[in-house]
Amino acid sequence: MAAPVATKEARRSRKKPLAQYSETICGLNASILPAVVLSTVTWYLLRYVVQPLFGPDEYYIDEEFHVPQAQHYCRAAFHKWDPKITTLPGLYLLSSTVLVPFMKIYDTILSLFGVLDHDVLRGNDPCSLVALRAVNAVGAPACLYYAFYRCQLLIFLNENKKTKIAKWSCVFLALSVATFPVIYAPYSMLYYTDAWATASIFLWYSSHLSNETNFLVKIIFGGFSVLCRQTNIAWLVFASIIDVCHCAEQCFPTIKNSVSIFSYIQATIIEFYHCCSIKNKHKSKKLIEFFQKCLRVTCPNVIVILSFFSFVVLLNNGDIVVGDRRAHVPRFHPMQLCYFVVFVLAFSLPWLLSQAYFKILTSNYVSKHFNLANAFREIHNNTSKVLVVTLLIIISGLVYFNTIAHPYLLADNRHYTFYVWRLLFSPGKPVFLRYLPVPFYACGLWLVNRTLMQSSIAYRLAYWIVTPLVLCAQFLLEPRYFVVPYLMYRLHSNKQFTNSHTFKAAFIEFIAYQVFNFVIMRVFLYSPFVSSMDNTGRLDRFTW
């Protein structure tokens, strides 16, 4: 009996790592082919659906600033800058670097065949509006898919069985992220910074997670992500915190034995206190070893972080934003964290509900009730009841003292947040309406925290430091600010890709997002309204 078992174990041990399976699934290239299909579909939507409705020169909101600025860069007029633009020029540099050489090659090929004429893509400008939109449509979703898919393989390399189901689950989760409604519809088909700001941070993160990535490549990807959006610097800090924590765990094993964030911090403080003691020379050597390890693993991120803060302090008068500073003054806004967890709750529903359904479907009557009750088991004990009541009181206090609105939120009726705010929080509404979402805020915080319990303490510590730091300084309520924190959460929110139920849940999530995208795009394209922001009679469109 022992021989067959040994043979089976030997066959299992001969299986290749998940990363070696990443190239093909059933003969298909899982990292490249879906990205190419996604680029093609998005380009088709831009070329044959969006562009005919907009016309060749009709800007949408912030494109009024982004498009002329990109065209300055295409003409090498780098000294020209629109003071209304708040972000660094990462997108404009990318656009000019890609489009100008491409259009020269394109024109040369056409001229060789004698067919150089007014082309829809080129127009009279290598950086025409549709060409600039194509930089987003063709590049950003594909890069985001590739980067997120690669991140999954790198994170879960040693945590999953090497099955086709696991890989297809990764494919559909990466597709869901690449077509995430808040950045895909319609911003991936417009010339906005959001699509590339998101794609660039995961391109950097995938390079950061890989030990094989060149040192210089990590610096370039990190720098490019910050050039696309300044707040991306926080995620370089996030990764550096995790790396420092892992170095501490390697040098001081007692830290790794911690069971909670608080005990982790306590153990770290104790270890460093002993290291600073003059009498303990062995611990002092450990401290030197710790700093050497930290410098080695965090050096690419530290170079980018120090460069960015040098720019802020020395060249930008201490401001993060580079333009329109009066409208983008940082303000302490902890309610943003509450809005964020509701955002997480809403966009996690397809995944959570489908997972719960498949668990119930495959369990017997007794385990059904156990599974349903198990999710809320902690709330039924006395300690958790006290924590829940305390949490509800704190959130209610935040609602009372920190329900604040940016002037843009109150004035711009092109965004869905304008209508949500007017429905629940406007001065003319009953006060109790603003307290109705409090249970959802608490539930969302509970969900995020419980989900992150699957991850290491180092990851949870870094996430709960960086996410409030990114969100709570933002005065304006803007769903696009929640995208990267949500996707970082989503990346680490599931450690099991090994069964068919997980694959089905990932597929259902992808379909749900496409239905959402269809609705958003249909409203955006086919339900315009006459602008009330001026007297020109122009048409505006609804979006995030």
Backbone angles phi, psi at 531, to 5 degrees: -60, 135
Q: Does residue 186 have a cis peptide bond before it, meaning omega lies within 30 degrees of 0?
A: yes
C-alpha to C-alpha distance for 177 and 170, rounded to whole angstroms: 11
C-alpha to C-alpha distance for 197 and 478, rounded to whole angstroms: 15
531: pLDDT strictly greater than 60 = yes
Give me the pLDDT at residue 158, please.
Answer: 54
What angle, rounded to 10 degrees, do the helices at 457-471 and 335-361 form? Answer: 130
Amino acid at the residue 46? L
109: pLDDT strictly greater than 90 = no
Non-local (6+) Cβ contacts of 157 within 8 A are: 17, 18, 19
Give me the pLDDT at residue 200, please.
Answer: 97
pLDDT in tens, 374-425: 555 555 555 567 778 888 999 999 999 999 998 888 888 888 999 999 988 8
- In the chain, what percentage of residues exceed pLDDT 70? 83
112: pLDDT strictly greater than 80 = no
Is 530 in contact with 537 (CB distance < 8 Å)? yes
**Structure token digits, residue 504:** 């089905």
Amino acid at the residue 427? P
pLDDT in tens, 429-447: 888 889 999 999 998 998 8
Residue 443 or 359, more confident: 443
- Average pLDDT of the residues in 539-543: 85
Residue 502 or 296, more confident: 296
- Average pLDDT of the residues in 492-517: 82
305: pLDDT strictly greater than 60 = yes
Q: Which of 202-206, 317-321, 458-462, 531-535 has the lowest mean pLDDT?
A: 531-535
Give me the pLDDT at residue 368, please.
Answer: 41
Helix (H, G, I), strand (E, B) or coil at 474: coil
- Average pLDDT of the residues in 498-527: 89
Mean pLDDT, the chain, whole residue set? 84
Give me the pLDDT at residue 278, please.
Answer: 59
Q: What angle do CA 476, 477, 480 make, to 5 degrees?
A: 105
67: pLDDT strictly greater than 80 = yes
Q: Which of 11-20, 181-190, 340-349, 470-479 has the lowest mean pLDDT?
A: 11-20
Q: Which of 13-17, 208-212, 430-434 has the lowest mean pLDDT?
A: 13-17
C-alpha to C-alpha distance for 182 and 520, rounded to whole angstroms: 9
pLDDT in tens, 29-46: 778 899 999 999 999 999
Give me the pLDDT at residue 499, please.
Answer: 63
55: pLDDT strictly greater than 80 = no
Q: Which residues partner with 24 through β-bridges?
A: 29
pLDDT in tens, 71-99: 999 999 999 999 999 999 999 999 999 99
21: pLDDT strictly greater than 70 = no
504: pLDDT strictly greater than 90 = no
pLDDT in tens, 317-331: 888 888 888 878 888
Confidence class of residue 257 from pLDDT cuts 50, 70 and 90? Answer: confident
C-alpha to C-alpha distance for 524 and 543, rounded to whole angstroms: 6
Give me the pLDDT at residue 372, please.
Answer: 40
Backbone angles phi, psi at 114, to 5 degrees: 70, 30
- Average pLDDT of the residues in 479-507: 83
Give CA separation, 125 vs 122, 175, 306, 368, in Å.
6, 33, 38, 63
Confidence class of residue 297 from pLDDT cuts 50, 70 and 90? Answer: very high
Closest to 185 measured CA to CA, from 514, 504, 534, 538: 514
C-alpha to C-alpha distance for 173 and 90, rounded to whole angstroms: 27
